[in-house]
Structure 1
Amino acid sequence: MQSTVRSFPFFLLGVAPIFVFGARIKDLTDVRGFRSNQLFGYGIVTGLNGQGDSRIEYTELGILNALESLGIRADKADKSRNIAAVMITAEIGPFGKAGTKMDLTVSSIGNADSLQGGILLQTPLKGADGLVYAVAQGPVSIGGLSAGNGGGNIQVNHPTVGIVTNGALIEREIFTDALSKDSIDLLLRAPNNLTAVKMAKAINGFYPGSSLAIDGGVVNVKVPLEFLG
């Protein structure tokens, strides 16, 4: 029974031929409880070949701590500008599963000239609740186009912001009880009373008596009996 209840939102949004003003419900709404969550972390990018931070205390502290975690004790950080302190951000989707990977963004918080070609050292990524949801690591790419000399100084990319493709390994899943209830709330991305009423009417045409427009921003839909058996 539980598995059929859980499948209803996906059927309603992705399979059922229900349209409102010519648009599918999935293009107009989000399901309450189905949301991405922002993750963040502070880390170190290495291997920058003279393009990293210069004499910044928190960068030096970061690399000293990283070395110490590897069992290497050092009194001073290297001054070669091969490292940079970065802020790491990522979004874990509502159905992100432990063991799967996602992309992340790194941005310099010091005075590094470029993050291109650097390697992000292993960094925990936390949610707003302070819990670790993923671990980040991997090669940084700033993408885009860069040219100099004969081509002039053309900079299409942003050298101090980069991405690590599939660089975050999910360790903890986001809990939601939205799929365990006997009804779901559809949240309109552009709240409008007429749209909400039309949507409820369209759903009722497919599943009679199942839907009600609570207000211009929310349409409640009861799980039909065929998904409860």
Structure 2
Amino acid sequence: MSIMAYYYAVKIGENPGIYGSWTECEKQVKGYPNAQFKKWKTREEAEAYINGNSTSTPHGSGVSSLGLGSKTPSFREEKGKAELFPAQDGSLTAIEELFQSTKTDCIAYVDGSFEKDSGVYGYGVVFIEKNGNIEEYFDSGREESYQSMRNVSGEILGALKATSLAVEKGYSSIAIFHDYQGIASWAKGEWKCNKEKTIEYREKMLEFQKKLKISFHKVQAHSGDHFNERADALAKQAVGINI
């Protein structure tokens, strides 16, 4: 049985060019700000993508990573138990397994951060689609009503951003991976919403649930999960914390 070869085109990365394997491609884009890369079936398509002439869509598990920051500052903890989801290594195989286990249309990893000296809170979102497309989003804010919640403001903001993306893209379900339990417990009514912004978060999630099915999956923070670590890095980048 023959194995089909693909061409990994790095448009923005450490060394832009065409690579013959995901391993080589990943070396050029992992951790690189606003990296852009996709997988193609033919070298001609890969070259056209790099040169900005592509009119085709990527084949197979096309991968694209876009560092996008939307400037719309928006928007906390207690007890709560959740079964931890196994850490993922970020490979295409891991992505396929995530979709098989969650049975959802799209997946998002979210995290929040806070810089106490500046009072800036922020979020990071890694949005993953079934075709392998990956988009990254981050944003920050300094609104006083959110500052008291510190990094939890970013956690909430990230979850809302991810859910709104799913709606905008026309999906009917999303799996949200998070390391802060409140993201799920407030949305599902398991924790009491006793602050203005947690009440607001709950209400917005209820509205989103009229449009799509939302499932929550807790991951262990700083456990080596590739996508969770990436969301954490984006959140830190948003608030100006050097990593």
TM-score, structure 2 length as denominator?
0.22
User: Of Structure 1 and Structure 2, which has the larger fraction of its residues in helix?
Assistant: 2
Give the structure with higher Rg (CA): 1
TM-score, structure 1 length as denominator?
0.23
User: Of Structure 1 and Structure 2, which has the larger fraction of its residues in strand?
Assistant: 1
